[in-house]
Amino acid sequence: MSTPEAWPDLAGRIEDGIHLLPIRIYYEDTDFSGIVYHANYLRFAERSRSDFLRLAGVHHHELFEGDNPLAFAIHRMEMDFVRPARIDDVLEVRTRYVTAKGARLEVLQSIWRGDEELWRAKVMAAVIDQQGKPRRLPKSVVAKLSPLVRPLTVSS
Amino acid sequence: MSTPEAWPDLAGRIEDGIHLLPIRIYYEDTDFSGIVYHANYLRFAERSRSDFLRLAGVHHHELFEGDNPLAFAIHRMEMDFVRPARIDDVLEVRTRYVTAKGARLEVLQSIWRGDEELWRAKVMAAVIDQQGKPRRLPKSVVAKLSPLVRPLTVSS
Amino acid sequence: MSTPEAWPDLAGRIEDGIHLLPIRIYYEDTDFSGIVYHANYLRFAERSRSDFLRLAGVHHHELFEGDNPLAFAIHRMEMDFVRPARIDDVLEVRTRYVTAKGARLEVLQSIWRGDEELWRAKVMAAVIDQQGKPRRLPKSVVAKLSPLVRPLTVSS
Amino acid sequence: MSTPEAWPDLAGRIEDGIHLLPIRIYYEDTDFSGIVYHANYLRFAERSRSDFLRLAGVHHHELFEGDNPLAFAIHRMEMDFVRPARIDDVLEVRTRYVTAKGARLEVLQSIWRGDEELWRAKVMAAVIDQQGKPRRLPKSVVAKLSPLVRPLTVSS
């Protein structure tokens, strides 16, 4: 049966505040130039952010239900495309939440093939309501995320 | 300004009951084997079905609003992949509604490059409510679609 | 490190001739109507066909290299959409090769959520050369696939 | 027949160095949160860059053919997501090449709905060979692009 329990690694793993998610490159991810289509790295990165929240115990219904449902909205991304991925590659997305307070989320993400970095990004998101106004992260979400946040320090 | 009026052909055209929609093949549509990824023909076909309804004056809010919102749901597709499309090709999707009565919609679609047929499909859809139960097409939708339906006849 | 070895289940499993692949539903897979966009079931099915071949030891380079590279080309699909999938669902794709001889491949596929069938399809593919002509499956491919093929019988 | 001539606006227009491309939002572009999935703005932007080159007369085969085929490779993108797009919206992508010399291309892009800016990006690309090394833009490409480049000035 297709229960989550049958595939324990499906959502990846969080190790020391870093979420690791394996990604297989299929036909759908490539383009005729022979490499992965550039926008698809954002799909892979989003899967890892979603699975990070899943493993942290933060579920969509905590945001979407209630009188004025909230949503995560990305407002800025900066990304470097370092090396291309190809069909059949096994990649690993690494995701680290560096800020999660007030209405602000900051996430550092990178995609690796073995010890080669292929892509890295800085993602800035906010919690907004249905009118698009920034809202504070619900306390229950902060309580679950805080222990996993790894702020940037001078040396990192 | 990006008004629909500035791009009169954006939704294609209906000529004698057949909707014609041009499609340009971009990087995103191809895969590493050099041709269009097979699932993307379904995206092109859906664009044409949507634009057919748009030009017929049937809008999502006629289905989605109300106490028990309705939706179109595809329940079966049969399709033949005849020839592959490639980067930069200009294709044309042709869409013909052959049935639109009760809860049933049947659509014949094909995709052409000049006079070469690349793909064709038979699409069977239903109108369903939020509980997944079949519901009759709203009268306002039937009134708009009926003049454009081209039933199959013995000779067609 | 992102080695295939670190994620043993990444390509799913073949059990008694049936390939099982777990699929998580992410934002990218859904549309504004709240369910999985219909064309995406074809992406999930293709991942399972690719991983079936991967686990069988059939690699792209066995087809693509050589003087006249070969490719698998789908020429017909028939599919039923039975129930919709939604965000966060864990699905399982089941793939069974029923024919693999001459130039012909026939595959039966279905997608499940627990014990609910959501989608099923019959896929007919051929091996073709660069000129689009059907070619026999290379012997090395037949040797690897044959033990895994489960032909349809009267009772199945 | 599906000839480019039948759909004169299919590749958009270049007006005073700015490429304008209309984009209709279809089911495939949205996600269950009701808005356009963030990675899809990159697809829309790529369509406009491709059509800019098409209208400028720069074709893939000028890069891809020859002993050592060249390719455009994006190495960095910075983007702001300002407002969300929704189903049925008509958007307009605006693309301006601000640098095209040596191996470097810099492009400013934005996506509008009427007079509302929804998304904007700075795209840095390079011309690379099959070994991934930067190569100068072919002279024929520079000759076609130069008249359309609109460099940033102090006041722009």
* Cβ neighbours of D130 (radius 10 Å): 12
Q: Which long-range contacts (CB under 8 A, 24 or more apart) does B30-33 make?
A: B30/A31, B30/A32, B30/B86, B30/B87, B31/A27, B31/A28, B31/A30, B31/A31, B31/A32, B32/A27, B32/A30, B32/A31, B32/A32, B32/A34, B32/A35, B32/A86, B32/A87, B33/A27, B33/C71
Closest residue in chain A to residue B86, using alpha carbons only: A32
> If DSSP states are collapsed to H, E and C, what string results for C8-69?
CCCCCEEECCEEEEEEECCHHHECCCCCECCCHHHHHHHHHHHHHHHHHCCCHHHHHCCCCC
B5 to chain D, any CB pair closer than 8 A? The answer is no
B24, containing H or E segment: strand B18-24
How many whole angstroms separate alpha carbon C134 and alpha carbon A20?
43
Contact check, Cβ <8 Å, B78/C82: no
pLDDT tens, residue order, chain D (156 aa): 456 677 888 999 999 999 999 999 999 999 999 999 999 999 999 999 999 999 999 987 777 666 778 888 999 999 999 999 999 999 999 999 999 989 999 999 999 999 999 999 999 999 998 888 999 998 889 999 999 999 988 655
Which of chain D's residues have a Cβ under 8 Å away from the Cβ of B27?
46, 50
Structure tokens at D150: 């609109």
Beta strands in chain D (DSSP E): 13-15, 18-24, 71-81, 90-101, 104-113, 116-128
Cα angle vertex A38, ends D144, B1, to 5°? 60
In a domain, C3, yes or no: no
Backbone angles phi, psi at B98, to 5 degrees: -105, -20
Q: Which amino acid is at B127?
A: V
pLDDT digits (tens, 9 = 90+) for A38-62: 999 999 999 999 999 999 999 877 7
Indicate the pLDDT class of residue B116, thresholds 50, 70 and 90.
Answer: very high
Nearest-CA distance B56 → chain C (Å): 21
Contact check, Cβ <8 Å, D2/B27: no
Task: Give the CA distances from residue C23 to residues A58, B4, B10, C10, C33, in Å, rounded to whole numbers and listed in that order.
Answer: 20, 38, 35, 10, 20
In a domain, C99, yes or no: yes
C4 to chain A, any CB pair closer than 8 A? The answer is yes
Indicate the pLDDT class of residue B20, thresholds 50, 70 and 90.
Answer: very high
Tell me the percentage of chain C whose pLDDT exceeds 90: 72
In a domain, A50, yes or no: yes
Nearest-CA distance D22 → chain B (Å): 7
What pLDDT, on the 0 to 100 scale, is given for residue C100? 92
Active site residues of B: 31
Beta strands in chain A (DSSP E): 13-15, 18-24, 71-81, 90-101, 104-113, 116-128
D7 to chain C, any CB pair closer than 8 A? The answer is no
Contact check, Cβ <8 Å, B28/A34: no
Catalytic residue among A31, A51, A80, A88: A31
In a domain, C78, yes or no: yes
B118, containing H or E segment: strand B116-128
Contact check, Cβ <8 Å, D6/B28: no
Closest residue in chain C to residue B63, using alpha carbons only: C33
What average pLDDT does the segment A23-31 reach?
A: 97
Total beta-carbon pairs less than 8 A apart between chain A and chain C: 81
- Among B8, B27, B51, whose Cβ lies nearest the Cβ of D50? B27
B111, containing H or E segment: strand B104-113
pTM for this model (two decimals): 0.95
> If DSSP states are collapsed to H, E and C, what string results for B42-66?
HHHHHHHHHHHHHHHCCCHHHHHCC
What pLDDT, on the 0 to 100 scale, is given for residue C154? 62
Contact check, Cβ <8 Å, D90/B9: no
Structure tokens at D59: 């074709």
Indicate the pLDDT class of residue B3, thresholds 50, 70 and 90.
Answer: low
Judge whether residue A95 has pLDDT over 70: yes
| Residue B47: CATH number of its domain | 3.10.129.10
Contact check, Cβ <8 Å, B42/C46: no
Q: Output DSSP code: residue B34.
A: S
Domain count, chain C: 1
Better pLDDT: B130 or B33: B33
- Among D32, D39, D86, whose Cβ lies nearest the Cβ of C30? D32
In a domain, C156, yes or no: no
Judge whether residue C1 has pLDDT over 50: no
- Among D2, D20, D114, whose Cβ lies nearest the Cβ of B90? D2
* Residues 6+ positions from B64 with CB-CB distance below 8 Å: B70, B71
What pLDDT, on the 0 to 100 scale, is given for residue D1? 47
pLDDT digits (tens, 9 = 90+) for B129-152: 888 899 999 888 999 999 999 998
In a domain, B137, yes or no: yes
Contact check, Cβ <8 Å, D42/A43: no
Looking at the DSSP bridge assignments, the partners of residue D116 are D113
- Chain A neighbours (≥3 Cβ pairs under 8 A) are B, C, D
pLDDT digits (tens, 9 = 90+) for A118-134: 999 999 999 998 888 99
D31 is catalytic: yes
Total beta-carbon pairs less than 8 A apart between chain A and chain B: 30
User: Maximum distance among all alpha carbons in chain C?
Assistant: 48
A90-101 β-sheet, strand order: A13-15, A18-24, A90-101, A104-113, A116-128, A71-81, D71-81, D116-128, D104-113, D90-101, D18-24, D13-15
Judge whether residue B2 has pLDDT over 60: no
Judge whether residue A147 has pLDDT over 70: yes
Instruction: Give which of C79, C86, C128 to mutate to test B binding, by max B Cβ within 10 Å.
Output: C79
- Among B39, B76, B78, whose Cβ lies nearest the Cβ of C39? B39
What pLDDT, on the 0 to 100 scale, is given for residue D135? 92
Tell me the percentage of chain B whose pLDDT exceeds 90: 72
Residue A118, domain extent:
11-148
> In angstroms, how far is the first alpha carbon of chain C from the final one?
44
- Among D1, D26, D28, whose Cβ lies nearest the Cβ of B115? D1
A155 to chain B, any CB pair closer than 8 A? The answer is no
Total beta-carbon pairs less than 8 A apart between chain A and chain D: 52
How many whole angstroms separate alpha carbon C142 and alpha carbon C137?
6
Better pLDDT: D4 or A104: A104
Which candidate, A39, A97, A103, places its Cα nearest to that of A73? Answer: A103
What pLDDT, on the 0 to 100 scale, is given for residue A7? 85
Complex-level ipTM beyond the 0.90 threshold? yes
Nearest-CA distance B101 → chain D (Å): 24
Name residues 17-76 of chain C within 8 A of D (Cβ). 27-28, 30-35, 37, 39
What pLDDT, on the 0 to 100 scale, is given for residue D155? 59
What pLDDT, on the 0 to 100 scale, is given for residue A1? 47
How many whole angstroms separate alpha carbon D58 and alpha carbon D66?
15
pLDDT digits (tens, 9 = 90+) for B53-100: 999 999 877 776 667 788 889 999 999 999 999 999 999 999 999 999
In a domain, B4, yes or no: no
In a domain, D156, yes or no: no
